[in-house]
Amino acid sequence: MLLNILSWIAIVVLSVSYWFQIWKIHVHKEVRDISLTYNILLALGFGTLTFTAIEEGSLIFLVKQIMTTIPVIIIIIQVIYHKNDKWHDPALARCSKCKEELERRWSFCPSCGEKRSK
């Protein structure tokens, strides 16, 4: 009984973690750090395992697969839709050559390869 309850809680936690990612993308419209390949592979894997859950007749496994596949597909759609959008942080430095924003930890500009000026 306890294992069954913990399993249902785990499904909710897994699903909610993906929905937080969806919300973050929705708010910031920033997807440059999100791997499209990774999410496509996740969706394919989760989707394939959905058929395994149906074949095995496992309700908990089926619900888990559905509750993780749907948000991953939404993330894929968001990445495609927002691939050219950028969320700007006015506190970030700009590249002296191409004027793109530079994260604090970057030594080189990812857009043009210019070494960060001090």
Residues 63 and 92 in one domain: no
Q: What is the average pLDDT across 43-59?
A: 95
The single-letter code of the amino acid at 106 is W
- Tokens describing residue 111: 């857009």
Is 15:67 a contact under the CB 8 Å cutoff?
Answer: yes
Q: If you average pLDDT over each of 23-32, 63-72, 94-103, 104-113, which comes out highest?
A: 63-72
Report which of residues 3 and 31 the model is more confident about: 3
Residues 37 and 57 in one domain: yes
- Tokens describing residue 17: 């973690």
Residues 6 and 54 in one domain: yes
Average pLDDT of the chain? 90
Record the pTM.
0.74
Residues 38 and 28 in one domain: yes
Domain count of the chain? 2
Q: What is the average pLDDT across 55-64?
A: 96
Residues 42 and 70 in one domain: yes
Residues 49 and 35 in one domain: yes
* Pairing state between β 93-94 and 101-102: antiparallel
Q: In the predicted model, is pLDDT for residue 82 greater than 80?
A: yes
Residues 20 and 41 in one domain: yes
Residues 6+ apart with CB under 8 A from 115: 107, 108
**Which domain does 118 fall in, by range?**
88-118
Residues 36 and 76 in one domain: yes
Residues 74 and 99 in one domain: no
